[in-house]
Structure 1
Amino acid sequence: MTGPEIEADHLASRLRLAVGRLHRRIRLASNDIPPLQLSTLVSIERHGPVRLGELAQREAVSPPTMSRVLAALDERGLIARTPDTADARSVRVALSAAGAHALAQVRGRRTALLDARLARLDAAQRATLRAALPVLEALIDDVPEPRPAG
């Protein structure tokens, strides 16, 4: 590896560690809903009333696993099941008012935790982070990798 390649590798490693550790700390701020249940609630919120099979596929779990997740969410009153008008044997799952409220609470706690951590930074550090946000957001977008010439 050349100097720039080593520097890029080091940057990628440090960024991966920092983002991963920060994500873990933020995620732990809302541990009252297990991760798969929380992810399922977000999927339901984003994709509207959905069938169990679609949720299982979106969450990359088996239908029996998703059935257990939905049972736990239903027991807590976080989802509402409605008949599927296209298939009488099936139901669609939507967020209940309690589910929407629970998601808002989780997001609020996570934002508060991050606000508290940001408050520990001085004004120059916050300005640097603010200036870096477009770059970090660009890393999120899926961009096709360049194809080799030839």
Structure 2
Amino acid sequence: MSAQVSDDGQLAGRLSLAVGRLHRRIRLASNDVPPLQLSTLVSIENHGPLRLGELAQREAVTAPTMSRVLAALTRRGLLVRTIDVRDARSSRVALSPAGIRLLAEVRSRRTALLDVRLARLSPQQREALIAALPALEALVVET
């Protein structure tokens, strides 16, 4: 193990700081979409049309908060609401074509930002990142 990172506490601290700073810089590439709105769009994309309560639970927010988020996204034309066939009193939200385009644009900007940053690394640093990817991906998996 590196002398710079002599224990798990130091590793966790340095990793947290590096990942947090990188995440903030990447997030700036989509600064026209607040984080909760963007996360909500991704949840809808990943899990299909959802009811407000399902989205609130997935995003760990209250129903009134999610209602405001959905209203903002709907005003921007990023969502389509449909009647829930199992319960006509509620609706489900899905991405509109504009919502699909927005997510593609955000991902493209974020990827371009990372490409620029990766280009600054030495070949050895790039190889180290490639080797570390399986471990980083394992950190994301819930157990």
Please indicate, yes or no, whether the TM-score normalized by the shorter chain is above 0.5.
yes
> What RMSD over aligned residues (CA atoms) do the two structures have, in Å?
1.6
Alignment of 1:59-78 (within 5 A): 59-78=59-78
Give the Å deviation of 1:142. Answer: 2.7
Q: Which runs of 5+ in 1 are unaligned?
A: 1-5, 144-150
Match in the other structure for 1:96: 96
Q: Give the TM-score normalised by structure 2.
A: 0.92
Write the deviation string for residues 89-122 of structure 1: whole angstroms up to 9, x where unpaired: 1111000111011001111111110110000011
One-letter code aligned to 1:45: E
Give the Å deviation of 1:13. Answer: 0.8
Higher gyration radius (CA): 1
Match in the other structure for 2:81: 81
Aligned length: 140
Match in the other structure for 1:58: 58
4+ long deviations beyond 6 Å = none
* Larger deviation, residues 35-44 vs 6-15: 6-15
Write the deviation string for residues 64-84 of structure 1: whole angstroms up to 9, x where unpaired: 111111111001110000011
> 2 CA distance for matches of 1:69 and 1:47?
17
Q: Give the TM-score normalised by structure 1.
A: 0.88
Match in the other structure for 2:123: 123
